[in-house]
Amino acid sequence: MAALGFLYGLFASSALGVPSVLMRDIAADLHVSMSELSASQGLRFALFGLVAPFAGGMMLRYGPRVMLAVAGTMTLAGLLLTVFMTNRFEMWLGLGLILGIAPGLTALQLATIISVRWFTTHRGLVVGLLNGSVATGTLIFVPMGAWITEHWGWRLALVPSGLGLLLALMLFLLLGKDRPQELGLASLGETAMAPIPAVPRRNFVALSFHGLRLASTRPVFWVLALTFLICGVSSYGLTSTHFVPFCGDLGLPAVTSAGLLAMIGVFDLIGTVGSGWLSDRFDNRWLLAIYYGFRGLSLIWLVESNATLVTMSAFAMLYGLDFIATVPPTVRLTVGTFGREMGPVVFGWIFAAHQLGVGLMAFAAGVSRDALGTYVPAFLFAGLLCLLAAAAFALVKRPAVPAPA
């Protein structure tokens, strides 16, 4: 299940990440401004996050296989429309609306569900590995997308991701299961097979809002939601969408810029897997404080240093180690506080805050670039917010007994 989840995440993330290196080409081909294209990407990221809380309820109600079938099919449809789009309406519909809703139906909940249902030991490590698939997808497909764009155009750059996603979806539906009990297995680390909990009878909307009501009474939820919003601002909302155009402003070729983004992906894979291993062994609150502080300092250092290729490469390595390293300890804190069944539902709301930050920054950085002619204020602002997030974990207590589901 971990391998199937990794493979699906690999291609799904690449399908959504490749457009970040196509921004200039898409804007020129469709005759739209960078602000409008950034706004459609802001909508995509925001919808991704707004759907996520209900994805937690839907996964609890219908199971991950059904939800992945729906999400994968919609993602493929959105990619197909994007490949053939010729006007603003199709851009907003395919690249903005469909490719926003579709991945939100699984989002990070797929990794959370697999880790909490199939693993008791090594749970943090598995979360790190599954979220590391995002980095691996970036590593493989973003430079490939830039190279294909230079030789055959941006539309064909989306084809490899789409074909891979189709294969991964078929494998998951053929081989995947909703719970280990369906195979007569206990979760890894347990000696006895636990009974399968009764399927909730409430609709997924009620389940999702039940999770929100449960979470809203605990201060840890608000700290995790706020800091994960800042995580979105300082990661996908900033670098995934605008790092390649930022490098272009510095005079770096698109392929070189994509290579730097891929370098972030390489070190992100290392950092996220390492974070999962650490989150199984150390206090997750202080890990998050360190991660956010380190990210904030790296962003501030970037804009205050000389923008040479050596500097950019050093930033890619340092920043990459911390790119989504925040996910494993955030998941463990959430599940440790709210329990194995409701934890993924609550995490859906926390992830919604993350994607709200992504959408706001994807849009705001594009507007700032058009208005000021530089991305520097956006990078500096994100770095300062990360330092605020690091300080916020002084308010969080170690999880005690999980809340009842």
pLDDT digits 0-9 by tens, 81-100: 988 998 889 889 988 899 88
Domain count along the chain: 1
Query: How far is 147 from 241, CA to CA, in rounded Å?
Result: 18
Q: Which domain holds residue 62?
A: 2-178+205-394
Q: What is the predicted pLDDT for the residue at 138?
A: 67
Query: What are the pLDDT digits (tens) for 45-60?
Result: 778 778 877 887 788 7
Entry pTM:
0.76
% of residues, the chain, pLDDT over 90 = 23
Strands (E), 211-253: none
Q: Provide mean pLDDT across the span 320-337.
A: 89
In a domain, 107, yes or no: yes
Query: How far is 68 from 11, CA to CA, in rounded Å?
Result: 13
Q: Tell which residue, 399, 342, 74, 66, has the closest CA to residue 211.
A: 342
Task: Residue 62: give its domain's CATH number.
Answer: 1.20.1250.20
Q: Provide mean pLDDT across the span 137-152.
A: 79
Minimum mean pLDDT among 80-89, 90-99, 238-247, 347-356: which range? 238-247
In a domain, 276, yes or no: yes
- When pLDDT is cut at 50, 70 and 90, the band that residue 171 belongs to is very high
In a domain, 11, yes or no: yes
In a domain, 401, yes or no: no
pLDDT top residue among 96 and 289: 289
β-bridge partners, 188: 119
Q: What is the predicted pLDDT for the residue at 405?
A: 40
Minimum mean pLDDT among 39-43, 163-167, 195-199: which range? 195-199
pLDDT top residue among 294 and 188: 294
In a domain, 101, yes or no: yes
Name the average pLDDT for the chain: 85
In a domain, 32, yes or no: yes
Q: What is the predicted pLDDT for the residue at 401?
A: 44
Q: What is the predicted pLDDT for the residue at 391?
A: 95
Tokens in use for 387?
A: 């330092």
Query: How far is 339 from 326, CA to CA, in rounded Å?
Result: 19
In a domain, 257, yes or no: yes
% of residues, the chain, pLDDT over 70 = 96
Query: What are the pLDDT digits (tens) for 364-396?
Result: 888 888 888 888 899 999 999 999 999 999 888
Q: What is the predicted pLDDT for the residue at 77?
A: 92
pLDDT top residue among 405 and 54: 54
In a domain, 239, yes or no: yes
- 86-96 in b/e form (b: 16+ CB < 10 A) is eeeeebbbbbb
Q: Tell which residue, 355, 269, 393, 285, has the closest CA to residue 42.
A: 355
Q: Provide mean pLDDT across the span 97-111.
A: 83
Handedness of CA 117, 123, 128, 133 (dihedral sign): negative
pLDDT top residue among 214 and 55: 214
Tokens in use for 249?
A: 């402003």
